Amino acid sequence: SAVISQKPSRDICQRGTSLTIQCQVDSQVTMMFWYRQQPGQSLTLIATANQGSEATYESGFVIDKFPISRPNLTFSTLTVSNMSPEDSSIYLCSVRGPSFGQYFGPGTRLTVT
C-alpha cells in the first residue's frame, strides 16, 4: 500500500481565515483525490488532482473556496478559504496504491470557530 501523510493533523481556525492542508505520498502517483467527511457522515469527493493540470471539482465544490495545487507526483495541497463553521470536517487525501486499491491518508481534522 502507499504511505500517505497529511499536515496538519488537526487545527482550530477562526471564521474568515484560510487553512492549507498538505498531502505527501511515498511514491509517485498520477491522480490524487481530496475528500471531506463531515462529523458522523460519510466521505464526499471534493476534487481530483492530476499533476500538471487543473483540478477537477465535484458539484457543490468550487476552486475559489477549495483551491488545490499539485506541483509534483508525490505532493498536493488543499486550501480551505474564507472558512465558516460549516467547513468543520475531516479532510482526507487518497491515492491509488501500487497494487489493487485506493488508500487514504490519516486526515486533517478542522474545527472552525
Partner 1 sequence: QQQVKQSPQSLIVQKGGISIINCAYENTAFDYFPWYQQFPGKGPALLIAIRPDVSEKKEGRFTISFNKSAKQFSLHIMDSQPGDSATYFCAASTGGSARQLTFGSGTQLTVLP
User: Closest by alpha carbon to 2, among 85, 104, 73?
Assistant: 104
Tell me the torsion sign for CA atoms 103, 108, 109, 113: negative
| Minimum CB distance to partner 1 smaller for 74 or for 94 | 94
**Closest approach of Cβ 84 to partner 1, in Å?**
23
**Residues contacting 27, CB < 8 A, separation 6+:** 2, 74, 98
| Minimum CB distance to partner 1 smaller for 67 or for 97 | 97
Q: 56 is written with which cell numbers?
A: 477537477
**Closest approach of Cβ 14 to partner 1, in Å?**
23
Counting residues that bind partner 1 (by CB under 8 A) gives 25
Quick check: 106 binds partner 1 (CB under 8 A)? yes
**Closest approach of Cβ 82 to partner 1, in Å?**
25
Phi-psi region of 95 (alpha: psi -120 to 50; beta: other; left: phi over 0): beta
On whether the CB atoms of residues 108 and 83 are closer than 8 A, the answer is no
**Closest approach of Cβ 25 to partner 1, in Å?**
13
- Figure out which of the listed residues 7, 11, 13, 31 binds partner 1, where binding follows CB under 8 A: 31
Write out the binding residues for partner 1, residues 36-75 only, by CB under 8 A.
41-45, 48, 58
